[in-house]
Amino acid sequence: MAGVYLLIGNRRPTHFVSGVSALPFTYPFEVIRVRMALQTQMLPPDQRSVWYAIHSIYTQPSRLPLRILHFYRGFAVSLLGTIPYRGGIFMVWETLKSQSVQHLSQEFRENNRHGLNLAIGAIAGATSQIFTYPLEVIRRNQQASGKHNAQHFVGFRETIRIIWLAGGWRGFYSGLGVGLIKQVPMHSISLAAWQAAKRFLDI
């Protein structure tokens, strides 16, 4: 991820384009990963494989016109969340970097640049994760919608209703703690590495 940050630099429109353009190609793997996680609980050991997950997704009966669409359950929600998630990270990053220049001395920033970048990256990752997490919960529920009834493709509104009835507003933040444990250090390290690479390459 640090390599991506390094390549896109400060061209903010590219942040959105780069995140969205890769999504159609990588999304099916996300669906397969979710289905394999469900298979761990539901199936015997000999059926817990990536090929079995792909086969079960592709061959499940449904009303969809093309079977390949089975691998894109929840894609619209994921696409909707990608722009504010990626954009939010860089918006917070740029805002806090600007504030640090205004309120902290140059000497302090130079002596503590790595720690400062790690801290700002952590805040940026946490903020973006918290604000977009409900969309991630909706997406995961849509991806898993074929677990109980393969013929029923759960839509956006129905997914929201199911989550709300099951847990109220708290249901949209189920698992947020684990998500933060993963995302916060990942973005903290990635953004700090991006800055270090830019400094090393003098760009």
Is 28 within the bounds of a domain?
Answer: no
Cα distances from 84 to residues 20, 105, 135, in angstroms, run 11, 31, 11
CA distance 22 to 86: 13
Residue burial 19-51, b: 16+ Cβ < 10 Å; e: rest: beeeeeeebbebbbebbbeebeeeeeeeeeeee
Is 81 within the bounds of a domain?
Answer: yes
- What's the confidence (pLDDT) of residue 15? 52
Look up the pTM and report it.
0.66
Is 49 within the bounds of a domain?
Answer: no
Report the number of distinct structural domains present in the chain: 1
Mean pLDDT (the chain, rounded): 79
Considering only CA atoms, which of 143, 147, 180, 18 is closest in space to residue 90?
18
Check pLDDT > 50 for residue 1.
Answer: no
Is 132 within the bounds of a domain?
Answer: yes
- Confidence band for 41, pLDDT divided at 50, 70 and 90: low
CA distance 126 to 180: 6
Quote the domain boundaries for residue 177.
2-23+73-201
